[in-house]
Structure 1
Amino acid sequence: MRVFVSVDISNNEIINSVKNFQSLIEVDAKAIESKNLHFTLQFLGEISEKKIELIIQELKKIEFLKFEIYLKGIGVFPNIKSPKIIWIGTDQNSSKKMINLFKKIQNSLKPLGFTSDKSFKPHITVFRIKKKIGDITEEMKTHENINFGKQEVSSFKLKKSELTANGPIYSDLMEFN
């Protein structure tokens, strides 16, 4: 089963701000559905049922105090000249808090053989771009300083991802408070 650890976007103010942004931006890209908006803290890949139980045991041990994050600004991966993903980020303080949570998760799963192959940049994906669309610098500059709102982070989830022709279907395996 394909799994990842995430913080879901559940604040309706943020969800509505994201929908509004998705309707304003003029790029040939697939918008991510509101129900699928999340921060991926660690992608674990294809995992056996047995390993899922070990992951759950480790994640249950993580302690953290709830915190607020402010979603602000937009960006692209891998670069503005040839984007594949358009994302929404966080302010600097929120980024530090999300990175601390990421490190706790990463450290707890390391003994099970999970490591992250890239540095963690707190973001939620809001568009996926399948075909080459070229430089979108001007379009991005128009929206670069949008504030999307704040959300309390009091839990994270272990989620299952099923890939379908219509896009991924995510389901919760376990929530950790």
Structure 2
Amino acid sequence: MRTFVAIEISENDIKKSIKDFQNKLQINAKPINSDQLHFTLQFLGEISEEQVQKVIESLQTIKFSEFTINLKGIGAFPKPKFPRVIWIGTDEEGGKNLIELAKKVENVLKPLGLVSDKPFKPHITIFRIKKKIGDMTEELNKQKFMDFGMQKISRIMLKKSELTSDGPIYSNLEEVIAVK
């Protein structure tokens, strides 16, 4: 089963401001549905049912305290001149906390042979771009400091991803809640 560890965006005000931004930015790209907005802390790929149980047990050992992030700024991967993904970032402090959390996830999953293929960069994908759309540098620079709101981070989710012709369908397999 195709899986990943994520933090969902749950604040309705943030979802609405992202949706408004997606509607305003007129580009030939597929916007991510607001119910699927998340930070991917670690992509695990295809794992067996048996591995899922081990991942759940490992994730349950993670201890973290609730924190708040500010979703702000727009960017593109691999770069604005040739974007494949358009994303929203975070404030510096929130980003550091997310990186720390991603490291905790990686550390508990490493013994299972599950390691990240690239360093975690705090971002939420808001568009996937299939066709070449040209240089987005100027448009993204205008939005560089856009603020989408504050989100409390209090849970990590192990998610299953089923790929369909209409895009991925995510379902929750397990959640880890912050310690009080």
Q: Report what 2:92 is aligned to.
A: 92
1:154-175, CA deviations, whole angstroms, 9 ceiling, x for partnerless residues? 1110000000000000000011
1:23 and 2:28 matched: no
Aligned-residue sequence identity (percent) comes to: 56
Three-state SS of the structure 2 residue aligned to 1:132 is: coil
Runs of 4+ in 1 over 3 A off after TM superposition: none
Q: Distance in 2 between matches of 1:27 and 1:77?
A: 15
Task: Report the AA paired with residue 87 of structure 1.
Answer: W
Shift of residue 138, structure 1, vs aligned partner: 1.6
Equivalence map 1:2-151=2 (5 Å): 2-151=2-151
Task: Report the AA paired with residue 138 of structure 2.
Answer: E
Task: Report the AA paired with residue 143 of structure 1.
Answer: Q
Shift of residue 141, structure 1, vs aligned partner: 1.8
Q: Distance in 2 between matches of 1:171 and 1:36?
A: 10
Q: Distance in 1 between matches of 2:66 and 2:39?
A: 16
Long gaps (5+) in structure 2? none
Long gaps (5+) in structure 1? none
Three-state SS of the structure 1 residue aligned to 2:111 is: helix
Shift of residue 142, structure 1, vs aligned partner: 2.1
1:176 and 2:176 matched: yes
Count the aligned residue pairs: 177
Q: Distance in 2 between matches of 1:57 and 1:6?
A: 16
Q: Distance in 2 between matches of 1:168 and 1:25?
A: 22
1:29-86, CA deviations, whole angstroms, 9 ceiling, x for partnerless residues? 1100000000000000000000000000000000000000110101000011110000
CA contact (8 A) 1:55 1:109 kept: yes
1:152 and 2:147 matched: no
Q: Distance in 1 between matches of 2:66 and 2:137?
A: 36
What value does the CA root-mean-square deviation take over the aligned residues? 0.6
TM-score (norm 2): 0.97
